[in-house]
Amino acid sequence: MGIHQYFVELAEKLTPDLYESIVLPRSVIEVVADEEAFQGWRTRQTGSIAALQTQSFGKDDSFILDFGDHQVGYISLSIKSVGSPQDAPLGLKLIFGEMPCEVAEPFDSYEGWLSKSWLQEETIFVDVLPTVLRLPRRYCFRYLKVVIIDTSRKYTVSFTDIHCTAVTSADVRDLKPLPANVQEDLQVMDAISIKTLQDCMQTVFEDGPKRDRRLWIGDLRLQALANYQTFHHHDLVKRCLYLFGGMTLADGAVGACVFEKPNPVVDDTRLYDYSLFFVATLFDYYEASEDHEALVDLWPIALEQIHIGLARLDEYGVVRDDETWWCFTDWHPELNKQASAHAILLYCLKRGLGLAEVLERKLEATFISDQIDRVTRAAHHHLWDDELSFFVSGANKQVSWASQVWMALAGVLNEEKNGQLMDRLFDSSPEIGMTTPYMYHHLIEALFESGRPEKALEQMRAYWGEMVKDGADCFWEIYNPNDKKLSPYGSNLINSYCHAWSCTPTYFIRKYLL
C-alpha cells in the first residue's frame, strides 16, 4: 500500500476521547414467538431489576435483561455466591442481542457465510467470588441473556449489579432539538437516526458497532452528512479522511475501508464507486468546515481518484463493464453497475471541479470540466434509451432503480427532467429494485434534489417509518418491508441492527424539511 506517513500521524492525533455514560438495565424480559411481530419475536416484561437482585441462580438457570435502548459499550457484572463457600468455578454464558432474535434463536444454528465470531457471546468461568466481572470487549446490544452453565450443589449466585458503560465520540450536548411543530413521526425518525449515528461514532465513523466495526468510505460519506446536521464533529470526519488519504492501494486508489487496530491499515477491498467517494466526502467536509489546510493536504489524493475513475472509460467515454471490477452501488445480485458507476463518476467529477475552483487550480479545473462534458455526453449517447425513456446499464441494457437514481443525482438531465424521470421510475417500477437503506438514501436525496419533496417524505415514511413500526431502536443495515427476514449473509442473526448507512433521515429532515 502507499503510505503517507504524515497523514496517518495526523489522523492518529485526531483520535477522539470517548464520552462514557452508565446505563442500567430497565427490566427482566422474556422473548415470545409471535408471528405478527418483526422476525417472529416480541418481548414481554417478566420482572424488575430490583427483584432480580434478590434472586439466586444455579445450573441451567437464565434470564434476559432489557437495557431499554440500543447500547454500545462495556459490561460489568457484580456477582456473589449464595450458600456454602464457592467450591467450584462459576460457569456463565452471556449472549448479547441488538434484537430479540439474537437472544431467542441459538447461535449454534448459524450457518451464514460471514464469520460466526461476530455473534456476540462469551463463555466465562469465574474461580473466585464475589467478583466484579468487567469484560474487556465492547458489545452492541439492547438485550443481555445470562445463562448459568453451572455453580455446584453447594452454592448459587446472585447478581447485585449489572450495568453498561456506553461509549461514543458524539457529544450529545451539541445536539439541537427539532422545533416542536415538526410532526411526531419525524421527531421519532430523527431521534432514531441520531442514536444510530451516535452509536456508530467511536474512534472512527464505524459502519456498524456490532459487525464490521470499521471505517468504510461509503458509510462515512453518509455519516458525515448526518453529522454536519447534528453533532458537528468535524475532527472525526477529518481523521477518517486522513486515514483514507494516508493509506492508499498500490496504484494510489483509496481503499474501500480501513482498520484502526493494531495499527491503521487499509483493507485490500477495492470498489470503483468507493474510491471516487473520497472526492465527494472531501467536498462535503470542506463545505461544512471550510478547513482549507485539509483541502490542500488531501487534494492530490482526490485528484488521483478522479484520474483512476476516468481510466475506466472506454473509447466512447463510458465506464467499461466487464468481470474484472467491483462497484458497490447496492446489495443486489442482479444489478448491473455500469450506469450507476458512470453516474457516480460524474457526480464526483462535479465535486472535484468545485474543490479545484476553491483551490484556484485552473489547469486541473479545466481538465475536470472537460471530463464532465465528455462523461455527460457519453451518458446521453450511450446510456440513455430514448424508447424506454430510462438510463440503461450493461450489454443487456438493464433498467434499474439504482441507475435512474444515480443519473438523477449526477445531474445528467436538468432538474425538471430529473423530476419527470423520478415520476416515471415510480410509475413503471423496474424489476431490479433497491435492497439497502444505503440505496434508499440515494433515492430520497434524488427526489429532494429533483423537486419531489413530498414523494421523498412519503418514501422516507414507507421505509424508515416502517422500521420504526417494526420496533427499531436504531436503523438497520438491511430492511425490506416485504421480506423482513432478509439477510444477504444467510442469517438474520448476523445482520447489523445499528448501521451507519441507515442514519440519514435526520440529515433529510434537518436539511430539507425545516
Is residue 117 within the footprint of a second copy (CB under 8 A)?
A: yes
Q: Which stretch binds a second copy (CB under 8 A): 23-31, 223-231, 265-273, 314-322?
A: 265-273
Please, what is the minimum distance in Å from the beta carbon of residue 437 to a second copy? 21
Site for a second copy in 134-153 (CB under 8 A): 137, 149-153
> Please, which residues have CB within 8 angstroms of residue 151's CB and are 6 or more apart in sequence?
57, 58, 59, 81, 86, 88, 90, 91, 157
Nearer of residues 139 and 367 to a second copy, judged by Cβ:
139
302-307 long-range contacts (CB < 8 A, ≥24 apart) are 302/278, 302/352, 302/355, 303/352, 303/356, 303/364, 304/248, 304/252, 304/253, 305/253, 305/254, 305/275, 305/276, 305/278, 305/279, 305/348, 306/276, 306/279, 306/348, 306/349, 306/352, 306/368, 306/371
CA distance 258 to 89: 41
3-state secondary structure of 407: helix
Dmax (CA) of the chain: 84
Nearer of residues 112 and 354 to a second copy, judged by Cβ:
112
Nearer of residues 214 and 484 to a second copy, judged by Cβ:
214
Q: Which stretch binds a second copy (CB under 8 A): 174-182, 259-267, 390-398, 412-420?
A: 259-267
CA distance 225 to 220: 9
Please, what is the minimum distance in Å from the beta carbon of residue 261 to a second copy? 4
Q: Which stretch binds a second copy (CB under 8 A): 22-30, 117-125, 180-188, 426-434?
A: 117-125
Is residue 262 within the footprint of a second copy (CB under 8 A)?
A: yes
Site for a second copy in 268-297 (CB under 8 A): 268
3-state secondary structure of 123: strand
Please, what is the minimum distance in Å from the beta carbon of residue 143 to a second copy? 19
Nearer of residues 243 and 345 to a second copy, judged by Cβ:
243
Is residue 113 within the footprint of a second copy (CB under 8 A)?
A: yes
Run of H or E including 126: strand 121-126
Please, what is the minimum distance in Å from the beta carbon of residue 22 to a second copy? 23
Site for a second copy in 191-230 (CB under 8 A): 212, 214
Site for a second copy in 70-89 (CB under 8 A): 84-89
Number of residues that bind a second copy (CB under 8 A): 36
Is residue 128 within the footprint of a second copy (CB under 8 A)?
A: yes
CA distance 457 to 185: 11
Instruction: Tell me if 117 sits within 8 A of 34, measured CB to CB.
Output: no
Length of the chain: 514
Nearer of residues 212 and 291 to a second copy, judged by Cβ:
212
Please, what is the minimum distance in Å from the beta carbon of residue 122 to a second copy? 7
Nearer of residues 248 and 371 to a second copy, judged by Cβ:
248
**DSSP bridge partners of 131:** 79
Nearer of residues 267 and 458 to a second copy, judged by Cβ:
267
> Please, which residues have CB within 8 angstroms of residue 197's CB and are 6 or more apart in sequence?
170, 223, 226, 227, 230, 231, 500, 503, 506
Please, what is the minimum distance in Å from the beta carbon of residue 59 to a second copy? 8
Is residue 54 within the footprint of a second copy (CB under 8 A)?
A: no
Is residue 130 within the footprint of a second copy (CB under 8 A)?
A: yes
Q: Which stretch binds a second copy (CB under 8 A): 111-119, 181-189, 190-198, 390-398?
A: 111-119
Please, what is the minimum distance in Å from the beta carbon of residue 303 to a second copy? 27
**DSSP bridge partners of 155:** 83, 152
Please, what is the minimum distance in Å from the beta carbon of residue 214 to a second copy? 8
Nearer of residues 85 and 106 to a second copy, judged by Cβ:
85
Is residue 331 within the footprint of a second copy (CB under 8 A)?
A: no
Instruction: Tell me if 187 sits within 8 A of 464, measured CB to CB.
Output: no
Among 53, 62, 123, 389, binds a second copy (CB under 8 A): 123
CA distance 125 to 103: 20
Does residue 177 have a cis peptide bond before it, meaning omega lies within 30 degrees of 0?
Answer: no
Please, what is the minimum distance in Å from the beta carbon of residue 250 to a second copy? 14
Phi, psi of 422 (to 5 degrees): -65, -40
Is residue 420 within the footprint of a second copy (CB under 8 A)?
A: no
Q: Which stretch binds a second copy (CB under 8 A): 26-34, 122-130, 229-237, 467-475?
A: 122-130
CA distance 511 to 514: 7
Site for a second copy in 339-358 (CB under 8 A): none
Q: Which stretch binds a second copy (CB under 8 A): 116-124, 310-318, 371-379, 415-423?
A: 116-124
Joined together, the cell numbers standing for residue 259 give 482498520
283-287 long-range contacts (CB < 8 A, ≥24 apart) are 283/351, 283/352, 283/354, 283/355, 284/221, 284/224, 284/225, 284/228, 284/351, 285/224, 285/234, 285/237, 285/238, 285/241, 286/355, 286/358
Among 21, 53, 115, 366, binds a second copy (CB under 8 A): 115
Per-residue H/E/C for 96-121: EECCHHHHHCCHHHCCCCCCHHHCCE
Is residue 267 within the footprint of a second copy (CB under 8 A)?
A: yes
DSSP labels, 207-255: S-TTTT-SEEHHHHHHHHHHHHHTT--HHHHHHHHHHHHHEE-TTSPBP
Is residue 118 within the footprint of a second copy (CB under 8 A)?
A: yes
> Please, which residues have CB within 8 angstroms of residue 323's CB and are 6 or more apart in sequence?
none
Nearer of residues 137 and 173 to a second copy, judged by Cβ:
137
Among 77, 101, 114, 447, binds a second copy (CB under 8 A): 114
Residues near a second copy (CB under 8 A): 59, 84-91, 113-118, 122-123, 125, 127-130, 137, 149-153, 212, 214, 259, 261-262, 265, 267-268
